[in-house]
Amino acid sequence: MSVSKFTLPDVGEGLTEAEIVEWKVAPGDTITINQVLVEIETAKSLVELPSPYVGVVGEILVPAGTTVDVGTLIITILSDSDSDTRTDAPAPADASAPTAPPVSAPSASASASASASASASAEQRELAQAAVDTSDTISGESEATAPQVLVGRGSSATMPTRRIRHNAATVAHESMSPPAVAAAPAVAVAPAPPARPVMSAAGVLAKPPIRKLAKDLGVDLSLVTPTGPIGDVTREDVLREATQVSVFRNIQTPEWPIDREERIPVKGVRKAIAQAMVTSAFTAPHVSLFVDVDATRTMEFVKRLKTSTDFAGVKVSPLLIMAKAMIWAVRRNPTVNSTFTDEEIIVRHYVNLGIAAATPRGLIVPNIKEAQDMSLLQLAGALEQLTITARDGKTSPAQMANGTITITNIGVFGMDTGTPILNSGEAGIVALGTIKQKPWVVDGEVRARFVTTIGASFDHRVVDGDVASRFLADVASIIEEPALLLD
């Protein structure tokens, strides 16, 4: 029996410490490779640490709620010396299932008989399983014999495949085939038809992926108004309901707590936010500008995109047009996409577009890398993925590093505008206010138009007033007329 020592690693960005939030294992638990041991909070995000060992949990050395330095020993794992598996080296084929007991080989006749009997029963079990879950993995091997590789490491030669859906005739034919035929290469099978909407017991019509999305976002499908062509709930319906649920949760009025005061330790993400805001506000002299914009054509453009087959299944919102407008305006006014140091001003000729996201853990600013090279469809997908990842608290430190310019969408909270504080190390940030109908003069007549207010702040050490004004005017021109993006 050997003792493996697991120390707190540096999960990225040169972080020096982290808080132990929750242990996922206890002393005496049997663990496998990649099983989550502990959840930690760094100064930027919540991270799950997987195990690089197979064995039994020995001793947990750091209790939950404690902040420790990187490199501190936090847990020991007991394992047999001959079966100790590390992710540094590939696991031997005969050691891929260390917990499975050895099985003696049966005689040839008994094996053939058992194989034929097991083949029929296995096919019947597979048919029943496929009826309820078509996402299980098959490749002629059981899950226990799959290679155990730490997340992000090891060989990727073996890829999982989806379970093939068999009809009754196919099962009957295959169950009567001798073992020798069953072992032959499989004949190509036509792909299964796309998933159709399924009616639940509550009478909600939705496809399985939509149901999974609703579950992940905490949305009750029975409360969603369906807009699909056959009365089914769409992805856009779920996302819209998720936004509304979030807003309503924010305005719920709780009872007064019994305790007169609450003391919240300043650590983790909140400590990092505080330090960044102080550094930004008192280091970079901010200058702020505001402009009212007729966003009617943007709203019409968003409506057309939602009905486009190219954007089917992708969330489209005015934020998408705002993001594209900023990228276009940066190309015309590159100084706003820079950073100031004591020795030089670094102007970036690429855009890592930051999106300020309010999460249960506080404000974070993940960014879309190389956004300047993305099409409108690619940008829409990146924005959606970024939002879901941030809401789930899965944003990694790497996703928040090296941003160049930021959007903060305060309109989702019903705010008209604000004076945003720069993300540290950046020279520009734009706030998109709520878009709502207001009286607006068009060709000498007062009409109801969709109007928004765009606010922006800049580092006045880098960005002069004329550059800031031209940049914001360029952004406003795209919101007023998205067709300019076609130039």
**How far is Cα 25 from Cα 33, in angstroms, rounded to an integer?**
13
**Cβ contacts of residue 95 below 8 Å, gap of 6+?**
83, 85
Which of 173, 286, 349, 460 is catalytic? The answer is 460
**How far is Cα 399 from Cα 266, in angstroms, rounded to an integer?**
23
Q: Give yes or no for a contact between 81 and 2, defined as CB atoms under 8 angstroms apart.
A: yes
| One-letter amino acid of 440 | W
> What values do phi and psi take at 121, rounded to 5?
-65, -35
Residue 349 is a catalytic residue: no
Cα angle: 334, vertex 336, 337; to 5 degrees: 70
Distances in Å between the Cα of 165 and the Cα atoms of 192, 199, 214 are 7, 20, 25
User: In the block, which residue shows the tokens 């009997």?
Assistant: 117
**How far is Cα 246 from Cα 357, in angstroms, rounded to an integer?**
13
Sign, Cα dihedral of 129, 130, 136, 139: positive
Distances in Å between the Cα of 245 and the Cα atoms of 238, 363, 413, 415 are 10, 19, 12, 18
| One-letter amino acid of 88 | D
- For 112, other C-beta atoms within 10 Å of its C-beta total 14
Token pair listed for 191:
């792909």
**How far is Cα 234 from Cα 197, in angstroms, rounded to an integer?**
10
Using the 8-state DSSP alphabet, how is residue 451 labeled?
E
Q: How far apart are the first and last CA of the chain?
A: 69
Token pair listed for 147:
């290679």
Q: Give yes or no for a contact between 8 and 26, defined as CB atoms under 8 angstroms apart.
A: no
**How far is Cα 239 from Cα 246, in angstroms, rounded to an integer?**
11
SS3 label, residue 383: helix
Helix (H) or strand (E) holding 303: helix 296-307
Positions annotated as catalytic residues are 460
